[in-house]
Chain A
């Protein structure tokens, strides 16, 4: 029996989604059973925080990025994307963020004009300059910020997730992000 899907970690959550092609997919017969073109436009994207530790998987498929997943009770329109991204995120530059509090965090974590990666603490870790304890403290801080600010804008949350993910991947020994 399929399991209802309510959210996917790293799902793109910004104002531009659902994109037109995703909307067309949503209206296709069989996606919203029995509704077809009259299906209501998806009202928004819900982010769910589930306490505890479980193995989680992102949905990542080459070429096609929008999917209509039909479950027992409903149909869910999902979109796969890289975990980092969003309107304020450029993997090769320090982020510029509309939220002043988040920008203050980015001001501490990223150095403009640096010759090491994107100037971030994550890239200092990757390049072998230590910063391990600093990075681990910021992983905690950024995670707390997301938990403490459920009403933050989707782009703010997404950028915070991107900064967090960059640090996590650096601590895990993964390479430079982006192209």
Chain B
């Protein structure tokens, strides 16, 4: 299922002529999405922005229907990398807001809260697994 989600998200950008390093694909999904995050941050400086709605639309869909593994790679992978790279390059995080849907905005805020000390490890895990923070964690 991760492959399906990854394919849908990455294919949007591939059709635009971008290709991530082959080594990233061999390494795993976090590496692929890290490469994608770098590319999106580069584009965010001057565009073109034409593929942003499709990329973030796919992100929104997979946050809604993906299992915990998919949500983890999207939240701890793509969203966190977008934020980290942006912060390291002086790009304001709120510049991404126009591209975020309801679920991706929630996930965006959870990642920010985690690094700011407002979200506990248990709360992050519960959020990624799509359950209330006080519910029993899945094994």
Contact = CB atoms under 8 A, between A and B. Distances in A.
Interface residues of B, number: 29
Interface size class on chain A is 20 to 34
A116 B23 CA distance: 30
Contacts of A104: 38, 85
Interface string A39-77: 000000000000000000000000000000000000000
Contacts of B73: 133
A144 interface: yes
A107 B34 CA distance: 10
B125 A130 contact: yes
A1 B21 CA distance: 48
A112 interface: yes
Tell me what chain B mostly uses at the interface: helix, strand, loop, or mixed.
helix
A141 B76 CA distance: 17
Interface string B24-56: 100110110010011000000000000000000
Given A133-B30, A134-B77, A107 B88 contact: yes
Nearest to B34: A108
Contacts of B23: 141, 144
A107 B30 contact: no
Interface of B: 23-24, 27-28, 30-31, 34, 37-38, 72-73, 76-77, 80-81, 83-85, 87-89, 114-117, 121, 124-125, 128
Interface of A: 94, 104, 106-116, 119, 124, 127-131, 133-134, 137-138, 140-141, 144
